[in-house]
Amino acid sequence: MSLSFSVNTNVNAMLALQNLSATAASLSSTQLDITTGLAVNGPQDDASTFAIAQNLRGTIAGDQSVQTALATGQSVTSVAINAGQSIADLLTQAKAKVVEANQGGLDSTSSSALNNDFQALTQQIDSIVTSASFNNVNLISSGASNLSVLSTADGSTITVSAQNLSTTGLGISGLNLTTSGGAATALSAINTAITSVSNKLAALGSAASSIDNQSTFTGQLIDVLNQGVGNLVDANMAQESAQLQSLQIKQQLGVQALSIANQAPQLILSLFR
């Protein structure tokens, strides 16, 4: 067997350099996977998987927008319901005043005092109605519009019907308890108003339940989609860590191999000594 030496062409050094370059590229890819936590960082890693993941990310973004719309709808409806419950409580207090005003033999001073209390309660009802807004949307004011809440990414909506809870809408505006006739009229009106508020609150509550259910479902759907994206593109960190250590050792050995290969031409000098 004969040995061949060349000063111009060091094949062993070229092979060692090629292997070292390949190791460096793999090391760079592994470090990127560890840094980003992704095994598929772009279409160059896996074109089909990247495309599928991007489509899923688009779906997730749409569903997140839906969830934001649902959250806004929840807030608007919640404000209306809380205001309605306060109004129901005030109507109960107002009824107590009306019942007192309907008792026989009541003097004018007492009637006037009861009427003042009643008027204060109705004014408070209108004050609550006026302030029951969220994001400039009020569902219980006079002339309020229905609220359409986006429920799916394809444009489906949940409609929350406006409920007029103002004193005018409830039919208790302009009542007066200072006369027996006025007190009797007020009693009938207040009873009707209490029933009306209960029905209106039930309608708001039903819509709020629908929004809550859809929001829960949308949140679960987003979680499932995120998990799906993760299954497609997330890096196995334990595997990547082991790979990193292996490549670092391989790189060190490659450097040593290249160094040895580069020293081989120097052996030619010994032939001339």
pTM: predicted TM-score of the whole model, two decimal places: 0.77
Residue with the bigger pLDDT between 20 and 211: it is: 211
**Are 98 and 183 a contacting pair, CB within 8 Å?**
yes
Cα 16 to Cα 13, 50, 69, 260: the distances in Å are 5, 34, 60, 9
- Name the superfamily (CATH) of residues 72-232: f41 fragment of flagellin, N-terminal domain (1.20.1330.10)
Kindly tell me if the per-residue pLDDT of 26 is higher than 90. Answer: no
pLDDT in tens, 234-249: 786 787 677 878 878 8
pLDDT at 7: 61
pLDDT in tens, 144-163: 999 999 999 999 999 999 99
Share of the chain above pLDDT 70, in %: 91
Task: For residue 209, give both structure tokens.
Answer: 């339940």
Cα 143 to Cα 92, 140, 165, 173: the distances in Å are 25, 8, 10, 16
